[in-house]
Amino acid sequence: MRKTKRMHSFAAAGIVVLCGMLGRTVYADEEPVVLRVCSWEEYIDLGEWDAEEAIELENGAVIFGEKPLYEDFEEWYKETYGREVRVEYSCFGTNEDLYNQLNMGDTYDLVCPSEYMIMKLIAEDRLVPYSDHFYDTQDVHNYYIRNVSPYIQKTLESNEIDGVYWSDYAAGYMWGVTGVLYNPALVTEEEAATWEIFGNPKFSRQITLKDNVRDSYFAALGILKADELTDEALRCSDTYHDQLADIMNDVRPETIDQAQELLNQLMDNVYSLETDSGKADMITGKIVANYQWSGDAVYAMDQADEDGFELRFAVPKESTNLWFDGWVMLKNGIRGDADKQHAAEAFVNYLSRTDSAVRNMYYIGYTSSIAGNAQDDTIYEYLKWCYGVDGEEEILEYPVGYFFSGDNSDAHYILQSTVSQMGRQLYSQYPPQDVIDRAAIMRYFDADANKAINQMWINVRCFDIDDIPMGVWMALLAALMFAISMGFRKSRRR
Amino acid sequence: MNRFRFQRSQLCIPYGLFLVCFVLAPLVVIIYYAFTNGEGKPTLENLTGFFSSPNTIGTLAYSLGIAVSTTCACLLLAYPIAYILARSKMKHKSVILMIFVMPMWINFTLRITALKEILTVIEGNLAYHPFLNTLIGMTYDFLPFMILPIYTTLLKLDNSLLEASADLGADTVQTFLKVTFPLSVPGIISGIVMVFLPSMTNYVVLDMLYNSTYIMGSLIGAYFSAYDWHNGSMIALILLVIILLFTLFTNRYADEDAGSSRGGVLGS
């Protein structure tokens, strides 16, 4: 998840954790396993749903969040494995914050950073690989490997750093793409479906970029390399995906320089940079389009719908950033403790139950990496519950097989939705195949490149001393002279 | 064996501990990081880098620009109000003063959010005047900190001095310039200290009012989130030195001008 600070939820989670800890009885005969989990703020269902919020699905499943998921996990673990476990759940604000926290000596057993931070942690040899048992589909309690979407698992298995595949160290949690949230009354889909909208003078000072270097750099690359990216020859090439990934991870010094120049221009065209305020500003009409992550776009569209106001989401035609967050176990937390690792893997498995995934999706608004399986179609039923047809609206056949079974022509996973869902919530949560095709993962950059793009971003954000108008310099000079002469007069009087 | 004997100076121990743990120790850490590089070797590169890069100098200039204009705006707004309030013969002065100070009771992010909406109504699009908006936001935020010390100093002003001035033939303008104003300088100084310093680093106001330009506070944050603790610490240290120099300067100025009169936070 890319949201930043949400202090209230953090406080709420803190209170919940605290209360949970106070109200617990510790059995003297067996020390409970303590599992220290650190994740994004507002990134797990905290329960306390109203009774009418219960989701009744057609397959008979009733989804209801009474207590926080990690407390339900503690009960489930005790029932299933006969062992006490205590979850100490805390939150972090950004990937960089988490990394700094780890460097300052905070120890956690299980954390949920984004893909590039996972790469960094793998490269620095800080992670514990999942056990072989975790991938054993025969064990009914191995919910993760039984339920994970083939699309996500394939992505994890096909990406590596230093010859190590991500799937050995990371279990997918939430995922999404980036794009442009726009107001269809003022912006056409064609205008929104390109990164060039941020430089479009028609929307001068009415669009926002993201306030972080990686997202802004991705948009800049999308504009700089637009011709290359939309070239049919590239699209049809056998190695399209590899080439796409290389283009969108270009950190050569000259590319960074071009990006800096471009971002400087964009800064004169956009309304501002934001991380969280963009959603509200779209709804109040301060801006007409903003750079958005699919999950937050869903949230904003839901909010706008309640106000009787339509927002839509477009994915740029050049390329989009496929991101995901995953659970990884830390070496300095687990410390070879088999009980702890077992509890950590069980925690991931518990969150990967289809009912937990639905609870999380309902609560957070992001898309879970969990798809279910042939026996358990709860996730797909939830999708139908959210976006299935009602009334006699025009029917849209929306294939989501790529996510659920790995085959997009799978007749079982063609959702009967409405035409009005195109470019809306369904489209954002489970983007269609053509969007998935042009999605690129932004990797972790090595230390030098990382330093260079961070410096580039600082350069873009800093005030240029040459921008001070001549008049201000003159005024300053005059003020200085005045001050000196005053001081002089005073000391002479004495 | 020595019996434990309580001494008054022992009451300082809690604060001393606090000082060591939360002021001194972090300062040592900051200094360590500021003068080392990524490999932990001592270096002055961070310092020279700060003063040779147009970006960091630009940020310093921008922060100073915001701080100076906020302080001037606060002073220009606060002095007349404090003066009128302190000199008036009204019965319920404290009630009126309370109205001026009341915004302080409300969380400042909430106030800035409200201000954002008001400014949007007035300006239409906030993106065109980022500096002006920041100035308004900061002034709104810090105005009470300027009013209060000036008001307190003016309230304590001995009326007989003004009468003496009038008896000696000075008109009201002369009395103000020669008596009232010089005697209120300590209040002004402490007001300036309380407004100038926080407005150099309070980047929350900029963020909330859509000013994407970095000031010193946000620049430090940017270096830290880029895992560059060394440059971040150096900027924090430079800021600290600036603040220290500023405080020393204002303290001295207050001492010189105030003479024996009391008032103000640092003036006495």
Which of A461-465, B215-219, B254-258 is predicted least confidently? Answer: B254-258
What rounded mean pLDDT belongs to chain A?
Answer: 89
Q: What's the Cα-to-Cα distance from B258 to each of A98, B149, B194, B247, B252, rounded to whole Å?
A: 50, 14, 18, 16, 10
Residues on A contacting B at a C-beta cutoff of 8 Å: 94, 96-97, 99-100, 103, 205-206, 211, 267, 270-274, 277, 286, 450-451, 454-455, 457-459, 461-468, 472
Nearest-CA residue of chain A relative to B68?
A476
Q: Is B62 on the interface with A (CB under 8 A)?
A: yes
Q: Reply yes or no on whether the pLDDT at B160 is more than 80.
A: yes
- Please state the rounded mean pLDDT for residues A409-438: 91
Output the pLDDT for position A232. Answer: 92
CA distance A159 to chain B (A): 24
Query: A282, A463, A465: best mutation site toward chain B, by most B Cβ within 10 Å?
Result: A463
Of A15-24, A111-120, B55-64, B97-106, which one has max mean pLDDT?
Answer: A111-120
Cβ proximity of A178 and A306 under 8 Å: no
- Residue A392: what pLDDT? 66
In Å, how far is A143's CA from the nearest CA of chain B?
A: 35
Do A96 and B226 form a contact (C-beta atoms < 8 A)?
A: yes
Residues of chain B contacting residue A97, judged by C-beta atoms under 8 Å apart: 225
Flag whether pLDDT at A10 surpasses 80. Answer: no
Query: What 3-state DSSP class applies to A273?
Result: strand
- Residue A27, pLDDT above cutoff 90: no
The answer on pLDDT for A281 being more than 70 is yes
Q: In the beta sheet, which residues pair with residue A414?
A: A399
Task: Report the pLDDT value the prediction gives residue A492, as an integer from 0 to 100.
Answer: 66
| pLDDT above 80 for A22 | no
How far apart (Å, rounded) are the C-alpha atoms in residues A140 and A147? 11
Q: How far is CA A31 from the centre of its chain?
A: 36
Question: Given the structure tokens 């470019």, which residue do they identify?
Answer: A423
Task: Tell which of A269, A458, A460 to mutate to test the B interface (max B CBs under 10 Å).
Answer: A458
Burial of B229 (0-12, 13-18, 19+ CB in 10 A): buried
pLDDT band at B2 (very low <50, low <70, confident <90, very high): low
Q: For residue B33, what pLDDT is reported?
A: 94
Closest CB from A205, A211, A466 relative to B128? A205
SS3 of A457, please?
helix
**pLDDT tens figures, A101-135:** 999 889 999 999 999 999 999 999 999 999 999 99
The pLDDT assigned to A421 comes to 85
Instruction: Give me the percent of chain A exceeding a pLDDT of 70.
Output: 92
Sole residue written with tokens 């006490």: A84
**3-state DSSP assignment of residue A136:** coil
Q: What is the pTM of this model?
A: 0.87
Top-confidence residue, B5 or A357: A357
The pLDDT value recorded for residue A17 is 47
Asked if B210 and A274 come within 8 Å (Cβ–Cβ), the reply is yes
CA-nearest residue to A461 within chain B is B213
User: Comparing A359 with A468, which gets the higher pLDDT?
Assistant: A359
Identify the residue with better confidence: B220 or B93.
B220
How many Å lie between the alpha carbon of B3 and the closest alpha carbon of chain A? Answer: 41
Evaluate if residue A455 carries a pLDDT over 80.
yes
pLDDT in tens, B25-50: 999 999 999 999 888 889 999 999 89
Say what percent of chain B tops pLDDT 70: 93
Chain B residues in contact with A450 (beta carbon < 8 A): 226
B219 contacts A465? CB cut-off 8 A: no
- Cβ pairs bridging A and B (under 8 Å): 78
pLDDT of residue A28: 45
Does the pLDDT value for residue A169 go beyond 90? yes
B21 pLDDT above the threshold of 80: yes
Query: Which residues in chain B have their CB less than 8 angstroms from residue A205's CB?
Result: 125, 127-128
Residue B132 has pLDDT above 90, yes or no: yes
Question: Which of B212, B219, B229, B252 is best to mutate for the A interface (most A CBs within 10 A)?
Answer: B212
Res A390: pLDDT: 66
pLDDT-derived band at B257 (thresholds 50, 70, 90) equals: low
Contacts of B72 in chain A (CB under 8 A): none
What mean pLDDT comes out for the span A144-161?
Answer: 93
Question: What's the pLDDT score for residue A210?
Answer: 94
Bridge partners (DSSP) listed for residue A293: A178
Give CA A455 to chain center in angstroms: 24
Write out chain A residues lying below 8 Å of B127, CB-based: 205, 270-272
Instruction: Name chain A contacts of B211, Cβ cutoff 8 Å.
Output: 272
- Enumerate the residues of chain A whose CB falls inside 8 A of the CB of residue B230: none
Contact check, Cβ <8 Å, B127/A270: yes
Is pLDDT above 50 for B55? yes
pLDDT at site B143:
92
Cβ neighbours of A458 in B, within 8 Å: 55, 214, 219, 222-223, 226
Cα(A245)–Cα(A228) distance, integer angstroms:
13
What residues contact A120, with CB distance under 8 A and at least 6 apart?
A99, A444
Of A273, A450, A465, the CB nearest to B212: A273
Mean pLDDT of chain B: 87
